[in-house]
């Protein structure tokens, strides 16, 4: 079994110096770093396999296609989907949600219907529904959360009715690190035959996902939060919905026949994958999945659970610190403020010490409005984050505190 020191050696960027100090990277909820294996896999494609997929009879194209489709099968197994056709490659979580908001609403939502979205969503799970709302004239119902970060489940039950056509909910809040009870949400919604979309961008990196066991209807996530490259993500969708939904983009690959009298569309998953895909990124994604499987989620969950508990205790031992989202069921990230200090000032001083954290509203302005704050400082963890780095972060925060208060 690999140790944290072994894992850290796999990530070249961790050797970087920031202002002549060792990099302490605590912004993994924004994007994770990439192991050398992933970088090498992408380089190998351009060096030895560079060809378009699905379109050529020549050997390079066939090899690239085989590797591309092998990734689809590996993603299917990674998230426990029943069919590989249910795995749609996109540019990331944002495009995955936009795809559903556009095409699901076109097929299943009418004027006067309702879609439930929670108050704690990333903008990527709010704005696409607002854009679709302008076109299809449905109503967005907001599921609130409590100050602890927990969803108001009694309100959720009251929102579900015959007008509800979809529930769109984050698995883990990117702003608070709160893990939502999505299994319960899905069960309650399905009792009324209401499908559920889960934004899994912050869930997939931290614990094992099985979409069949969850019984969600859609699950969206990105490679770059999962130690893979930017620019590629996944939409998992149940076949019955994907087959009924119209194409999202038009162009090559997603067609069967084109004439000026009309066009017929390709079968799943290609119906939703118009144009040349980012093949190198997909192959890098495959290597990232293999890397995570090699480490194992047992290790990942235990390590990150320790980091969450340890960091929370250290923060709470300091005066003048407020943590947002106090429910114990959290993963990956902790949001806090130094009382009376703008989070940008905290982040700037820590950066001078080589410590990278996130500050601001985290593309979750509705969360900030809930607490009546402009933003927070956020620390978020990866598989390579060490206890020693947390200790240095806490010492850095103490120094910042003496300068700011």
Question: Which residues are designated catalytic?
Answer: 363
Point out which residues pair with 117 in neighbouring strands.
142, 168
The three-state secondary structure class of 112 is coil
- Of 222, 182, 230, the C-alpha closest to 202 is 222
Which residue's structure tokens are 């609130």? Answer: 144
Residue 223 DSSP symbol: S
Sheet-wide strand order for 376-380? 321-324, 333-338, 376-380, 358-360
- Of 180, 391, 384, the C-alpha closest to 300 is 384
For the residues of 45-106, what is the DSSP string, one character each? IIIII---SSS--SHHHHHHHHHHHHHHHHHHHHHT-S-GGGEEEESSHHHHHHHHHHHHHH
The number of residues in the chain equals 405
List C-alpha distances in Å: 196 to 182, 212, 388. Answer: 9, 13, 40
- Of 180, 195, 181, 197, the C-alpha closest to 129 is 197
Tokens linked to 62: 């066939």
For the purposes of burial, counting CB atoms within 10 Å of the CB of 288, is it exposed (0-12), middle (13-18) or buried (19 or more)? buried
Assess whether the previous peptide bond of 269 is cis (omega < 30° from 0): yes
Which residue's structure tokens are 């854009």? Answer: 131
Q: How many helices (H) and strands (E) does the chain have?
A: 14, 17
The C-alpha atoms of residue 3 and residue 383 are separated, in whole angstroms, by 10
Which residue's structure tokens are 């990866």? Answer: 382
Write phi, then psi, for 139 (nearest 5 degrees).
Answer: -110, 135
């Amino acid at each position: 079994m690999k140790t944290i020191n072994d894992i850290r050696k796999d990530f070249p960027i961790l050797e970087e110096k920031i202002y002549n100090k060792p990099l302490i990277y605590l912004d993994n909820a924004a994007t994770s770093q990439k192991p050398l294996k992933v970088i090498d896999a992408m380089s190998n494609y351009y060096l030895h396999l560079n060809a378009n997929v699905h379109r050529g009879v020549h050997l390079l194209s066939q090899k690239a296609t085989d590797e591309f489709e092998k990734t689809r099968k590996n993603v299917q197994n990674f998230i426990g989907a029943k069919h590989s056709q249910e795995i749609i490659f996109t540019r990331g979580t944002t495009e995955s949600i936009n795809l559903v908001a556009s095409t699901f609403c076109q097929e299943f939502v009418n004027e006067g219907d309702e879609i439930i979205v929670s108050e704690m969503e990333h903008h990527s799970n709010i704005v696409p529904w607002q854009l679709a709302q302008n076109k299809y004239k449905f109503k967005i119902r907001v599921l609130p959360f409590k100050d602890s970060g927990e969803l108001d489940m009694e309100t959720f039950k009251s929102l579900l009715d015959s007008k509800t056509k979809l529930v769109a909910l984050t698995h883990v809040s990117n702003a608070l690190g709160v893990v939502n009870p999505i299994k319960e949400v899905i069960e309650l919604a399905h009792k009324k035959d209401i499908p559920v979309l889960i934004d899994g961008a912050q869930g997939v990196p931290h614990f094992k996902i099985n979409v069949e066991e969850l019984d969600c209807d859609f699950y969206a996530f990105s490679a770059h939060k999962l130690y893979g490259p930017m620019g590629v993500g996944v939409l998992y969708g149940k076949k019955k919905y994907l087959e009924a939904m119209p194409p999202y983009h038009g162009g090559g690959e997603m067609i069967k026949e084109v004439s000026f009298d009309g066009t017929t569309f390709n079968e799943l998953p290609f119906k939703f994958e118009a144009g040349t895909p980012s093949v190198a990124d997909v192959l890098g994604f495959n290597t990232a999945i293999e890397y995570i499987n090699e480490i194992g989620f047992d290790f990942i969950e235990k390590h990150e659970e320790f980091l969450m508990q340890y960091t929370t205790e250290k923060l709470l031992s300091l005066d003048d610190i407020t943590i947002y989202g106090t429910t114990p069921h959290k993963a990956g990230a902790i949001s806090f403020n130094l009382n009376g200090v703008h989070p940008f000032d905290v982040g700037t001083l820590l950066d001078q010490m080589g410590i990278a954290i996130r500050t601001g509203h985290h593309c979750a302005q509705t969360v900030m409005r809930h607490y009546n704050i402009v933003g927070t400082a956020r620390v978020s963890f990866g598989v390579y984050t060490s206890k020693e780095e947390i200790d240095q972060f806490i010492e850095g925060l103490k120094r910042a505190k003496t300068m700011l208060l």
